[in-house]
Amino acid sequence: MNQLNSTPNFDKGFHMLRVFFLMVALLVPALAGAVERSVTTGENALVNALKTAQAGDVLRLSKGIYFGPIVIDIPLTLVGPLSGPDGEAGAVIDGRGLASVITVAAPDVEIRVVSY
């Protein structure tokens, strides 16, 4: 007597489907969470933007002076505007004469076109 056993194929397909949905569930929130935020100058503008930023965000600084010191403790990108034709910095982080102007305490932090 020859019986067909379809259970192994079903189990394999079901397992692959579960793995697929697990991968999607892990990937979608990561992609949905990253946001590009514009930051304008102001007394605590950059510090406040860093407090509300999420991992993966891009903080795009307007031209001007930002006050620090700042601590970056999540993976993100900090981008200033391109320098002007006479070479002046587009965005400057002023540490007010304190020890460190920028402290990076996270992996995958990128800082571009910013003077400090």
Residue type at 92 in one-letter notation = V
In a domain, 12, yes or no: no
In a domain, 18, yes or no: no
Instruction: Answer yes or no: is pLDDT of 37 > 70.
Output: yes
In a domain, 21, yes or no: no
Q: Report the pLDDT averaged over residues 14-41.
A: 69
Instruction: Answer yes or no: is pLDDT of 3 > 80.
Output: no
Cβ(105)–Cβ(75) below 8 Å: no
Summarize pLDDT for 90-108 with one digit per residue, the tens. Answer: 888 998 888 789 999 999 9
Average pLDDT score over the chain: 80
Q: Other C-beta atoms within 10 Å of 49: how many?
A: 22
The whole domain housing 86 covers 34-112
Q: Report the pLDDT averaged over residues 27-49.
A: 80
Summarize pLDDT for 4-23 with one digit per residue, the tens. Answer: 555 556 566 666 767 666 66
pTM: 0.66
Which span out of 2-6, 17-21, 24-28, 67-71 was modeled with the highest average pLDDT? 67-71
3-state class of 101 per DSSP? coil
pLDDT, residue 1, reads: 53
Q: Report the pLDDT averaged over residues 75-98.
A: 82
Give one DSSP letter per residue of 83-102, joined into a string: P-TT---SEEEE-TT-S-SE
Question: CA–CA separation, 46 vs 54, rounded Å?
Answer: 14
In a domain, 89, yes or no: yes
Q: Please state the domain count of the chain.
A: 1
